[in-house]
Structure 1
Amino acid sequence: MATTAAKWVAPPTRPPLIETLVSGVDRYNPSNVGILEDYLYHQIRSQEYDCLANLAILKLYQFNPDLYNPDVVINILIKALTSAPFPDFSLCISLLDERPASATSTAAAANPDEPDPLPQLLPVLTQLHGLLQQCRFPRFWALYRSAAVEPLRDNYTVECVGFEDAVRDVAVRAVKAAFTSISRERLGSYLDLSGTELNAYIEKLGWTIDASTGVVSVPPNPDNQIESTVVQENIQLPQLTKIIAHAAQTSLPVVPAV
């Protein structure tokens, strides 16, 4: 957990320039927003992720409404989506405030032929995030493949390299934490994979399949191993005497009945 927190604060892939911007007062300098936005699109293309840098963009938009770019916000939310079960998506949402509503008029005035897509896509992204948080992976894939999510798929996630595999990583983390074995069909519904693709994915994970039963064995890890823990209290007599004496001093006096 400590390692995960350290990577969240300072990902090993973060360039020195971005580290300087994120760690100092320059993160509030609106002239640096272009650098941070370029770094976001680098994350989109390279399967890297830096939540702290992306939050800095949203904070700059919050302080400087004229900088608001809905495409950037949507891409930030897409990257945060695959961080589940961590709260990155909620952190991003908390920085939007009334931005979708207030920025719509500004964006419409500047580009009357290009309405702000965020108000339409935000409920969809929020619903997808909720399904991932609840580990309802088959429902997630059904919604993601539906016509309602077509604008998000065709215009945004298609550009996010490795998005679907990142979602599968979320499912794998949940399976590793909850199962020691799982049926091949059930795992396939979680990963939206079947046939040879599913077999190849399971092999890549290093998991094994029982050919006769179709059961996939999940290797032991600290989360899926139940171990009893014995807690032994060692209270010395002088300590017990102090406790009893303190209780006697602080107890309320008995009021005699009238």
Structure 2
Amino acid sequence: MTSASNWASPPTRPPLIETLVSGVDRYNPSNVSILEDYLYHQIRSEEYDCLANLAILKLYQFNPDLYNPDVVINILIKALTSAPFPDFNLCVSLLDDRPAPPANQDEPDPLPALLPTLTALHNLLQQCRFPAFWALYRSDEVEGLRDNYTVECVGFEGAVRQVAVRAVKAAFTSIGSERLGTYLDLSGADLSAYVEKLGWTTNESGVVSIPPNPDNQIESTVVQENIQLPQLTKVITHAAQTSLPIVPAVN
């Protein structure tokens, strides 16, 4: 899983972006185009830099005239696949309230219409309801999001599957291949190839074995405190000296 240091400063972040994000220049509106170009690099390369994307949203807050709805939607799509981390909620917290645009507007803002769908997808991932996520994602309701945005996000579905894989690794030592397929939206040869790529094994009964890891191994832990008698005496003495006197009740 992503460490805090990698989240704050991904190894793929270019030096120029590091300078912008780490200094006061992150609030300079003239740098917004550089950060937006970096976002589209993330879209094309399967890289991810939440802190740089948050800097874009903060610049939009300070400078509403810079607002670009397509950029915001792409930021939310990238944050969607960071579950179970709270990146999506961090991004949403920086969005201003935007009412739904009039139906007769030439170029309406797509964000108010898509934000509820993105939020619903995020909630399903956070709740590990993966079959429901794929059902919603494949539905006609989300066709606009798929055709106009996620299709451009290289590796989006693979990143969602990695969210499911992280959850399975943390909760299972073995799982039926059919059930796993519903989590990954894969079946048949595609599922077998994916499982093999993960280094997991499937037996003749169709049960997939998950290698041991710190999250799926139940181990009892014995906590033993070693307190010496002199230490205990000091504690009792200190308690006796600091305790309040008992005042007798007055009849």
Q: Place the TM-score, normalised by the shorter chain, in its bin.
A: over 0.9
Residue 160 of structure 2, aligned match among 133, 158, 167: 167
Please report the TM-score for the alignment, with normalisation by the length of structure 2: 0.95
Q: Superposition pairs for residues 92-103 of structure 1, below 5 Å?
A: 92-98=91-97, 100-101=98-99
SS of 1:83 mapped into structure 2:
coil
Gaps (5+ residues) in structure 1? none
Q: Superposition pairs for residues 239-258 of structure 1, below 5 Å?
A: 239-257=231-249, 258=251
> What residue is the counterpart of 2:221 in the other structure?
229
* 1:76 and 2:75 matched: yes
SS of 2:145 mapped into structure 1:
helix
1:239 CA displacement? 1.4
> What residue is the counterpart of 1:119 in the other structure?
112
Please report the TM-score for the alignment, with normalisation by the length of structure 1: 0.93
Percent identity between matched residues is: 83
Q: Distance in 2 between matches of 1:114 and 1:254?
A: 77
RMSD of the TM alignment (CA)? 1.6
SS of 1:37 mapped into structure 2:
helix
Gaps (5+ residues) in structure 2? none
Q: Distance in 2 between matches of 1:130 and 1:181?
A: 25
Deviations 1:44-103 (A, max 9, x none): 0111101011000000000000000000000000000000000100110111132x33xx
SS of 1:161 mapped into structure 2:
coil
Q: Distance in 2 between matches of 1:119 and 1:215?
A: 43
1:10 CA displacement? 1.0
Q: Letter of the aligned partner of 1:182 in structure 2?
A: I
Q: Distance in 1 between matches of 2:244 and 2:108?
A: 70
Deviations 1:156-192 (A, max 9, x none): 0011011000000000000001100000011000000
**Which protein is richer in helix relative to its size?**
1
Q: Distance in 1 between matches of 2:238 and 2:6?
A: 47
Q: Distance in 2 between matches of 1:194 and 1:215?
A: 14
Q: Distance in 1 between matches of 2:25 and 2:105?
A: 33
* 1:56 and 2:55 matched: yes
SS of 1:165 mapped into structure 2:
helix
Q: Letter of the aligned partner of 2:45 in structure 1?
A: S
SS of 2:202 mapped into structure 1:
strand
1:250 CA displacement? 3.1
SS of 1:41 mapped into structure 2:
helix
Q: Distance in 1 between matches of 2:214 and 2:4?
A: 18
> What residue is the counterpart of 1:214 in the other structure?
206
Q: Letter of the aligned partner of 2:82 in structure 1?
A: S
What is the number of equivalent residue pairs in this alignment?
A: 249
SS of 2:223 mapped into structure 1:
coil
> What residue is the counterpart of 1:135 in the other structure?
128
1:112 CA displacement? 4.2
* 1:180 and 2:153 matched: no
